[in-house]
Amino acid sequence: MENVKIIGCGYAYGSNCITNDMLKNVVDTSDEWIQSRTGIKQRTVSKNENTSDLAIRAAKKAIEENHIDKHEISLIIVATCTPDNVTPSCACLVQEALGLNEDPVMAFDINAACSGFIYALQCASRMLDKGIALVIGAETLSKILDWKDRNTCVLFGDGAGAVLIKRCNDGSNMTFYARSKGDKDKALYCAGRSLQPELKNIAQEKPYLSMNGREVFRFAIRSMPDAIEHVLKEESIDSIDLMIPHQANIRILEYVSKKMKFPMDKMFINLDQFGNTSAASVPLALGQAWQQNKIKENMNLVLVGFGAGFTWAACKIHIEGGKHDDQSDA
């Protein structure tokens, strides 16, 4: 258990809204086919902004709308599997854009796919010594999609979510559980660049994301309940006021709801608007819930996700004294 609390959230999403009907002109599909199998009605795709740009927008929203002094930030972690570059990291680009290059900040990226934000939040909560940690999940998945593959292109979108956390002694806390196992069968896979042993450049095709939907579904319905049960420990699921799950597929969420005996109306769901935004999924939903004042004092939240790797993780958050008690003017 880590004595840290959330003091601000923000989110951003791609500027180009792609409806299911629009995808009918790209692949053999329909609005009814997509909605009945996934629950997704639309998703957003970024036209001009890369992953770091969405991350920056989400971070600025979190800082400005919650009246945070950005110079208190001492740690920046960005979770992404679609960074702008091999190097530099998105986190360093965020640092520069926020005007923190002269401040004592540690910044780096991590890749745990759709579980990435919860992984990053756990890292930040344990690494944070003083000041504020800025934890971001951000993706531009559209750049690794094969728009001829209806198994993937109908599912994913672009977005970002940012959370600010700090040490506290008011009773607020976070408890984590995270696991992984190697995906030897490449059920959810996107290749990197190949070796060039002949010491000369080799023309390489752009890698696209591929997915074995059936295997990913099977993994999801095992891993999400496992993560929730472990993070709850001896507590009852009835003690949880709100669950913010990875927004992958409505059928997965319905299965988890039934398996855990947790009502769907206590899950925050926005996949109908944004689709699956991978590492951005949980923080984007958290940011929306925060903005809609669904995060209240004396509340217990569970964040839970699963993703490529394979990875899976959960975080139980207890909020004591209200979400804005450190920002009286908010």
Specify whether the CB–CB gap between 94 and 134 falls below 8 A.
yes
Alpha-carbon dihedral sign for residues 18, 21, 24, 29: positive
Question: Which residue shows structure tokens 């579980």?
Answer: 115
Report the alpha-carbon distance of residue 203 to residue 201 in Å, rounded. Answer: 7
* 8 burial level (CB within 10 Å; 0-12, 13-18, 19+): buried
User: Amino acid identity of 304?
Assistant: V
Category of 102 on φ-ψ map: left (φ > 0), alpha (ψ -120 to 50) or beta: alpha
Helical segments of the chain, H only: 20-23, 31-38, 51-65, 90-97, 116-127, 150-153, 213-232, 250-260, 271-274, 281-291
Question: Which residue shows structure tokens 């995808």?
Answer: 23
218-253: buried (b, 16+ CB within 10 Å) or exposed (e) per residue?
ebbbebbbbbbebbbeeeeeeebebbbbbbbbbebb
Q: For residue 120, how many other CB atoms are within 10 A of its CB? A: 29
Q: Residue 312: enclosing H or E segment and its boundaries?
A: strand 311-319
The HSE-up count of residue 244 (CA atoms within 13 Å, CB side) is 23
- Catalytically active residues are 114, 246, 276
Q: Extract the tokens encoding 144.
A: 């690794």
